[in-house]
Amino acid sequence: MKRIFFFLVTNLAIVLALSVTMRLLGVQPYLSASGLDLGNLLIFSFILGFGGAFLSLALSKWSAKRMSGALVINNPTTATETWLLNTVRNQARRVGITMPEVAIFYSTEVNAFATGMTKNRSLVAVSSGLLNSMTYDEAEGVLAHEMSHITNGDMVTMSLIQGVLNTFVLFFSRIISYVVDKLVLNTNGETGAVFFLVRAVSELLLGIAASVVVMWFSRHREFRADAGAAALAGKAKMIAALEKLQTKQLPSVLPKQIAAFGISGRESRGFRRLFSTHPTLDERIERLRGQQA
């Protein structure tokens, strides 16, 4: 219930912010009795598409901590917490960024994630299950993987891609629904139920196509983060971490908004692979082993 509450609050805040933005910018309705205004439709789609993506990014640390229950370590109380802070601090120094906030979320799942609006305002969180299951060397590989996501700017890049695709879906779904409603069915007067039905179906189908693109990039950046981790912590440690994940795989409990940034995520084969956020662990291990030391 807590996750659902924070999800609803976050999305309500985004919708209200975008509504105010469009009002302040004087964006007019894109559909009127005289027809479809493509200029206003494009502005509407751009603000809603990019605005939603980047407001989500701006709120990512806040929402991730609340939806996952992650607690930031300010004053370490155990040897493991001290090691965790020191390891992240050392890695941040080596890659030349401000040290991220470091947090633990309590779950038997062996996982970790990184998020944040910029490289210097980021968060790295690990599960208690990971700390209990992995050696320090294996956990160091995981932390290096998450640090690579941050230094590669994956959160911003994903938001840019999502913004472009959101704009595409919003813009073309409304054009398709207008064409079907007015030109194909020759309806008269104001737009009716057909318009909204076709718009819903168009958004669904175009959204699925957009998801395939987003998931492809998500899988690609996992390979890049693995390679970055191998350079930062050592290839052997990263491979050892992935091999440990193979023996500890459980269904992910991370909220959908941050699951794509976990070290371990949804992986599938066949047609379902198109919608997977992560390559299979076998593929990732094989790719690392094929890299030059």
Distance from chain centroid for Cα 184: 38
Q: Collapsing DSSP states into helix, strand and coil, what is residue 109? A: coil
Decide: residue 126, CB within 10 A, 0-12 exposed, 13-18 middle, 19+ buried. Answer: buried
Q: What angle do CA 99, 103, 109 make, to 5 degrees?
A: 130
Give the Cα separation of 82 and 80 in Å (integer).
Answer: 5
Q: Is 146 a catalytic residue?
A: yes
Catalytic residue among 138, 140, 146, 222: 146
Neighbours of 200 (CB within 10 A): 12
Strands 101-105 and 121-127: parallel
Strands 71-72 and 101-105: antiparallel
Is residue 212 within 8 Å of 274, Cβ to Cβ?
yes
Helices (H), the chain: 2-24, 38-58, 60-68, 79-95, 128-133, 136-151, 154-178, 193-233, 235-247, 256-259, 281-289
Query: Maximum Cα–Cα distance for the chain, whole Å?
Result: 73
The catalytic site residues sit at 146
